[in-house]
Amino acid sequence: MTVSRLIARPMLASIFIVGAATALKNAPQSASKAAPVADKIVPIAKKAGVPLPEDTETLVKINAAVQIAAGLGLATGRAPRLSAAVLALSLLPTTAAGHRFWEVGDPAQRTQQKLHFFKNVSVLGGLVIAAGDTDGKPGVAWRTRRVAKDARREAKRLAHDARRETKLARARIS
């Protein structure tokens, strides 16, 4: 692992670990902010077959636990791509619930919420990069293409060998 990954991953994960710990401590307050978003997401998720609790405070606690676990995974380098992807997915409802700047009337608060919203968008960009980072090793897509290419080459070689053997067998029979 490069030094930049060794340093950058814990830095990226720190905002989730600290933020999630704060959300756990202040779950009722976080739940009141998340309620408008949770009220829209839960019915859609249930229709899709995802069993989510209807209690917003429980949803906040689940999201915080997921962020802490994935944040620790990213920070320690344990399944960093999966951890980054999970954090990216958990950041979407967090941002939608916590930083709805378009609903704020006070200009100063609106500016603060807009800054936090776009900070989260920036962090989301970093997570997308981290989720795709193969750490210098070939990714699954490349390995799949490589296996397919090798299989085509081997099939071509076997077909060529079979045609040659058929020709030789015909020559012996004749």
Express each pLDDT in 73-132 by its tens digit. Answer: 999 988 888 999 999 999 988 888 878 888 888 889 889 888 989 998 999 998 998 888
* Residues 158 and 142 placed together within one structural domain of the fold: yes
* Residues 82 and 120 placed together within one structural domain of the fold: yes
pLDDT category of residue 1 using cuts at 50, 70 and 90 = low
User: Is the model's pLDDT at 29 over the cut of 70?
Assistant: yes
* Residues 62 and 81 placed together within one structural domain of the fold: yes
| Domain span including residue 29 | 3-137
pLDDT of residue 98: 78
* Residues 121 and 142 placed together within one structural domain of the fold: no
* Long-range residue pairs from 123-130, CB within 8 A, at least 24 positions apart, any chain: 123/12, 123/15, 123/91, 124/88, 124/91, 124/92, 124/95, 126/12, 127/12, 127/84, 127/85, 127/87, 127/88, 127/91, 128/84, 128/88, 130/8, 130/9, 130/12, 130/74, 130/80, 130/81, 130/84
* Residues 160 and 122 placed together within one structural domain of the fold: no
Query: What would the mean pLDDT of 45-51 be, rounded to a whole number?
Result: 86
* Residues 104 and 35 placed together within one structural domain of the fold: yes
Q: Which amino acid is at 151?
A: A
pLDDT of residue 68: 95
* Residues 46 and 56 placed together within one structural domain of the fold: yes
* Residues 149 and 95 placed together within one structural domain of the fold: no
Give the rounded percent of residues in the chain with a pLDDT score beyond 90: 40
pLDDT category of residue 143 using cuts at 50, 70 and 90 = confident
Query: What would the mean pLDDT of 44-67 be, rounded to a whole number?
Result: 88
Q: pLDDT for 77-90, tens place per residue?
A: 888 889 999 999 99
User: Is the model's pLDDT at 139 over the cut of 80?
Assistant: no
* Residues 111 and 143 placed together within one structural domain of the fold: no
* Residues 53 and 124 placed together within one structural domain of the fold: yes
Instruction: Name the average pLDDT for the chain.
Output: 88
* Residues 133 and 147 placed together within one structural domain of the fold: no
